[in-house]
Amino acid sequence: MSLRLLKYAFIEDYAEPRYFNTPDEIKKSYDVVIIGAGGHGLACAYYLAKDHGITNVAVIEKDYIGGGNTGRNTTIVRSNYLTEEGVKFYDASVKLFKTLSEELDFNIFYSERGHFTLAHNDSTLRTARWRAEVNKHYGVDSEVVYPDDIAKACPELDLDCGGNHEVVGALYHAPGAVARHDAVAWGYAKRASEMGVEIFQHTRATGIEHNGNGVTAVITDRGRIETHSALSAVAGFTPTVLDMVGLSSPLEIFPLQACVTEPIKDWLDTIIVSGSLHLYVSQSSRGELVMGASLDPVEVHSRRSTFEFVSGLCDQMLDLFPFLGDIKVNRQWAGMADMTPDFAPIMGTTPIDGFYIDAGWGTWGFKATPISGKTMAATIAKQTDDHLITEFNLSRFDDFALVGEKGAAAVGH
C-alpha cells in the first residue's frame, strides 16, 4: 500500500481530490449544451474551452461518464483508411492521440503495437495493396507484408489457420496502437472541468426546443436549460435525440460485442485483425486478451450480450491461435453501434441552426475521439463545418454524396 493511501485512511477530511467537480445546481443557461459525456462529448467540451475560450458549457449524461461506447470498445487506434477524407481525418486523430498523455497531463496508456490486418485470400490482399497505396500517398505508414514478416512479429499465430484459411499476407500499419479508453474520457473531463466546463451525470435530455431561428433550450429531467448551441454526441441513442428536433438520419443501431479473457502472461505485442474470420485481438496491459467480432446480424436497441457471439468468436480465435484452448473468457459485453450506410461518420451542422450532430460512429468511434472533439468544437465555435469534416455532413445523404469507407472497416460487417 502506498503511504499516500495510508494517510488518507487516517485523515477524514483529506480525501483524494475528485477528477471533476459537479455543481449542485444546473445553471439557467449555458453557451453550449453537450448531450452525452462519452469521449467525444467530453473532448468537444475540452477543445471548446481550450481552443476557443468557450467555457460556459454544460455536458449532460444520462448515465455516468464514459459508460457507453467509450468504455465498451476494444481501444484500437489506427489511420489506415481507404478514402482521402478518412485517411486525413483519422491521421489527424492518431497525431493528437500520440501526445494526448502530455497534453492532458494524464496517462492514457497509449501504446503503439503495430496493426496487422490479415488477408486470407487474393481479393483481400488486393484491397490491402490499395489501402497501402492510398495511405502512403497521404504520408501514413502502411505497407503490405507477407507470411514471413507476420511469423516474425507474431510467432504464435498459426499461418495455416488449421488448414482452412491460409494467411497469404497482411496490411501492416506500424502506428496502430491501443489506449486505456476510460482514461481518455476521464482525462478530458478533468481538464475541461478545470477550465470551467460543468459535467452533470445522471441527467437525461428529454427534449430540445427550437424555433425558426434555431435552438433555444435543452429540456432535461432536471429542468430546462437555455442555450443556442446543442451538440448530440450520444452514439446509439442518436435517433432518439434526432426525434426531439424532427430530423431523420440513415442510422441503424446494431449491437457490437466484445469480451476479454482471464489475464495471461504477455505474449501478444501486436494487434491482429482478420476480416475473413471476423475478429480483432490485442493484449491489454493487464494481460487480458481483448477480443471483438463483427456486428450482430439484427438491429437491437439494447446492450445485451449473447452466448452465440462468444462461441462464434472463440471458434475463429482457435483457428488463429490454437494454444488458447484452455484460456477462459472472463467478461463479455455489448455496445450500441450507430451504423451509417457508407461507414463514415455524420458530423457537423444540421438544417436547424445551433443544433450540431456527432454520430454515425458505428464501430470506429474510439480512434476518432480527439479529432472529433477538436473539429466539433471548431464547428460549434465558428458555426460552420470544420474543413476536415465537410464531407461528413448529414446532407450527404440528400445529395447521394456518400463517402465509401466500407473497404476499411476493421472486419466485414
Partner 1 sequence: MKYIECPTLGRRPYSEFAISGILEPEPSERPDMGAARWAFDRHSVPTVRTEWWYHTPSQLWFKVTRDTGNDRIAEVELAGLMAKENI
Using CB under 8 A, list all residues that contact partner 1.
Answer: 239-240, 243, 248-253, 297-302, 304, 306-308, 338, 341, 397-400
Output the smallest distance, CB 246 to partner 1, in A: 12
- The string of DSSP codes covering 69-106 is GGGTS--EE----SSHHHHHHHHHHHHHHHTHHHHHTS
Q: Which is nearer to partner 1, 166 or 243 (CB)?
A: 243
Output the smallest distance, CB 308 to partner 1, in A: 7
Q: Which is nearer to partner 1, 136 or 301 (CB)?
A: 301
Q: Which is nearer to partner 1, 110 or 237 (CB)?
A: 237
Whether 34 and 44 have beta carbons less than 8 Å apart is answered as yes
Distance in angstroms (rounded) separating the CA atoms of residues 17 and 22 = 13
Output the smallest distance, CB 344 to partner 1, in A: 13
What DSSP designation does 2 have?
-
Q: Which is nearer to partner 1, 19 or 397 (CB)?
A: 397
Q: Which is nearer to partner 1, 326 or 399 (CB)?
A: 399
- Whose CA is closest to 356, among 40, 8, 119? 40
Positive or negative, the CA dihedral 182, 185, 188, 193 is negative
Output the smallest distance, CB 335 to partner 1, in A: 15
Q: Which is nearer to partner 1, 302 or 384 (CB)?
A: 302
Q: Name the phi and psi angles at 290, rounded to 5.
A: -95, 120
Positive or negative, the CA dihedral 400, 405, 407, 411 is negative
Whether 172 and 145 have beta carbons less than 8 Å apart is answered as yes
Output the smallest distance, CB 250 to partner 1, in A: 4
Q: Which is nearer to partner 1, 296 or 319 (CB)?
A: 296
Output the smallest distance, CB 236 to partner 1, in A: 9
Please list the residues that pair with 230 across neighbouring strands: 33, 355
- Whose CA is closest to 344, among 275, 394, 274, 292? 394
DSSP strand pairing (271-274 vs 279-283): antiparallel
How many Å is the Cα radius of gyration of the chain? Answer: 22
Q: Which is nearer to partner 1, 12 or 399 (CB)?
A: 399
Output the smallest distance, CB 299 to partner 1, in A: 6
What is the amino acid identity at position 389?
A: I
Distance in angstroms (rounded) separating the CA atoms of residues 409 and 326 = 30
Distances (CA, A) of 95 to 92, 100, 113, 171: 5, 9, 15, 20
Output the smallest distance, CB 161 to partner 1, in A: 22
